[in-house]
């Protein structure tokens, strides 16, 4: 096969004049990490809230939470992203919409991507939190109520401290997913890893090196997160409990 392998391409100055092609990769890598971490924060906070609401006895609240989860789970991520990026600014009050559209393109892309990934993942986190709470023996809630705790107190002092520890292992895979899903954001022009990979192909004419490097970068992220989460999981493990092993 007549292909000229040239790994030194990454050290060449980039076409835009600032830095090398390797710097492009680093930039994409940072964007992917920054986007995924901020989105993960949103997903954890909202997911915990919605997951708890799904288990409360109040039919209205649990119904709203269930609807939330179904909406975010049954629309493809790409479609959600386009709705956030192209549709939402049009539907906002005119001034706010215009302010958004006139802001720095990177800010627009990043904010839309962050909200999209955060809310998309929060629905999945909510399902894990719900099943964590439901996996607790029913006696725990009854015992909490029997000793005179109100329902919020029962959640605060009895159910959640256990449930949050139990959901850590299933949340690891959601955490891994958010990094992988962030690649979808390349479609609205956000220059994260996958998008930089495409740019590298266009600019360097070394498609194999570019794609291998980007793919490896994702593998590195994946492995790092997995190793870190194994340590977290080991720390929060509930001895003798299902899922805690």
Partner 1 sequence: MYEFDWSSIPGALPFLAKGMLVSLEIMVAAVVIGIVWGTLLAMMRLSSIKPLSWFAAGYVNTFRAIPLVMVLLWFFLIVPHLLEQLLGVPRGTDMRLGSAIAGFALFEAAYYSEIIRAGIQSVSKGQMAAASALGMNYWQSMRLVVLPQAFRNMVPLLLTQGIILFQDTSLVYVSALADFFGTASKVGDRDGRLVEMLLFAGAVYFVLCFSASQLVRFYQKRLKTA
Q: Binding partner 1 by CB under 8 A: which of 194, 199, 204, 213?
A: 194
Residues 61-120 that bind partner 1 (CB under 8 A): 70-71, 73-80, 82-83, 86-87, 90-91, 93-94
Nearer to partner 1, 48 or 114 (CB): 114
Q: Give the total residue count for the chain.
A: 245
Which is closer to partner 1, CB of 76 or CB of 161? 76
Inter-residue contact 166 to 238 (CB < 8 Å): yes
- Spatial CA neighbour of 173 closest among 121, 215, 237: 121
Q: How far apart are CA 180 and CA 222, in angstroms?
A: 8
Among 186, 196, 204, 206, binds partner 1 (CB under 8 A): 186
| Number of alpha helices (DSSP H) and beta strands (DSSP E) in the chain | 12, 0
Distances in Å between the Cα of 70 and the Cα atoms of 44, 46, 52, 58, 189 are 17, 15, 16, 18, 28
182 binds partner 1 (CB under 8 A): yes
Gap between the Cα atoms of 33 and 110, Å rounded:
12
Select from 108-116, 155-163, 217-225, 228-236 the region that touches partner 1 (CB under 8 A). 217-225
The one among 23, 211, 232, 238 contacting partner 1 by CB under 8 A: 211
**Nearest approach, Cβ of residue 151 and partner 1 (Å):** 28
Q: How far is the CB of 218 from partner 1 (least distance, A)?
A: 5
Nearer to partner 1, 66 or 238 (CB): 66
Alpha helices in 57-192 (DSSP H): 59-73, 77-82, 88-91, 94-102, 105-134, 138-146, 151-153, 160-166, 168-181
Of the candidates 168, 56, 185, 218, which has an alpha carbon nearest to the alpha carbon of residue 118? 185
Tracing tokens 């399902």 back to the chain, one arrives at 127
Sole binder of partner 1 in the list 208, 228, 230, 245 (CB under 8 A) = 208
CB of 10 to partner 1, least distance (A): 17
What are the residues binding partner 1 (CB under 8 A)?
Answer: 1-3, 70-71, 73-80, 82-83, 86-87, 90-91, 93-94, 179-184, 186-187, 194, 197-198, 201, 207-208, 211, 214-215, 218-219, 222-223
């Amino acid at each position: 096969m007549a292909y000229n392998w040239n790994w030194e391409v990454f050290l060449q100055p980039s076409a835009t004049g600032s830095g090398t092609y390797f710097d492009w990769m680093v930039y994409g890598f940072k964007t992917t990490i920054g986007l995924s971490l901020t989105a993960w924060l949103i997903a954890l906070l909202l997911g915990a809230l919605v997951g708890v609401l799904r288990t409360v006895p109040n039919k209205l609240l649990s119904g709203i939470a269930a609807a939330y989860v179904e909406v975010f789970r049954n629309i493809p991520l790409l479609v959600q992203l386009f709705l956030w990026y192209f549709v939402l600014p049009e539907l906002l009050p005119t001034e706010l919409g215009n302010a958004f559209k006139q802001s720095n393109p990177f800010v627009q892309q990043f904010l839309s991507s962050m909200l999209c990934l955060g809310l998309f993942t929060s629905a999945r986190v909510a399902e894990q939190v719900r099943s964590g709470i439901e996996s607790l023996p029913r006696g725990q809630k009854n015992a909490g109520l029997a000793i005179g705790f109100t329902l919020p107190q029962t959640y605060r002092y009895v159910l959640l401290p256990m449930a949050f520890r139990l959901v850590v292992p299933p949340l690891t895979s959601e955490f891994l997913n958010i990094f992988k899903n962030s690649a979808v954001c390349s479609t609205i022009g956000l220059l994260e890893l996958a998008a930089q990979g495409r740019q590298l192909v266009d600019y360097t004419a070394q498609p194999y090196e570019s794609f291998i490097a980007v793919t490896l970068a994702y593998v590195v992220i994946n492995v790092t997160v997995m190793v870190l989460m194994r340590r977290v999981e080991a720390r929060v493990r509930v001895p003798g409990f299902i899922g805690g092993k």
